[in-house]
Amino acid sequence: MGTGVGMLLENRNAVVYGGGGIVGSAIARAFAREGARVFLAGRTLTTLDAVADEITGGGGRAETAVVDTHDEESVDRHADAVAAEAGRIDVMFNAIGHGDVHGPTLMEMPYDDFARPIDSALRSLFLTTRAAARHMIPKGSGVVLTITATTARASLPQIGGTGVRFDAMESLCRQWARELGPHGVRVNWLQTTGLPEAITFPGPFPDYGTGAAMDRDQLIAWNQAQTMLDRLTTLEEVGNLAAFLASDLASAFTAAGANITCGLVPTR
């Protein structure tokens, strides 16, 4: 953890939904390293506690709670409890996964498989943003963040509702930013490549229009070949940029995505 000198988020309170997951835990560690008191929320207490133990073991501050981000009462109750205990909510990051189905074409896919991740993402992001914003508005400041990917702008086959959900999440963030901006609350998202450290399944993966199914290494190589830097984004880079965007150094940045795709050029 940091020394307390020059930390970006010193004396800030940050809520991370999905804090026990691969991406959410990276965000939480970065926030804690930069001095924030981190409130980890999600469905599985054991994974949340493991991340919290790592953070506190390194000198940071972290607390956990079981929250269903699709349940309005659960989300509101948790935000109210954090604000009551900590005095304020300064940062909220939604890193919840949404069970996307890849493989079938749209012609082959049941509508529910297509729509489920879209509905899940929008409901979760809407509820968590609203709950946090209710406590940010009276203070006149706050930062809301989430994560999307290049599939929000790409035209790829066999990705089901993934591209639509990321596109919809970005649109929702822009609307939230417009409505919350006059109250001093910023809303942004991080747009990434595929994150190799988050790909734990060995495959096979769909061909995504390449003509041949891919294993994990082939999928990573295929994504990497489309970038200008000939590499993919790391979890550390995601956490570092999230901490920056949550800080006062990014105070003029809102209603926008931070492109950390290593220069990936989407297939259109």
Q: Which residues contact 165 (CB under 8 A, 6 or more apart)?
A: 98, 100, 117, 118, 120, 121, 122
Query: What sign does the dihedral 45-48-51-56 (CA atoms) show?
Result: negative
For residue 265, is pLDDT > 50?
A: yes
Burial 106-132 (b: 16+ CB within 10 A, else e): eeebeeebbebbbebbbbbbbbbbbbb
pLDDT, tens digit, for every residue of 145-169?
Answer: 999 998 988 889 999 999 999 999 9
- How far apart are alpha carbons 69 and 125 in whole angstroms? 8
- How far apart are alpha carbons 219 and 202 in whole angstroms? 10
pLDDT, tens digit, for every residue of 126-150?
Answer: 999 999 999 999 999 999 999 999 8
> Out of 21-30, 42-51, 76-85, 258-267, which region has the weakest mean confidence (pLDDT)?
258-267
Residue 155: per-residue pLDDT = 87
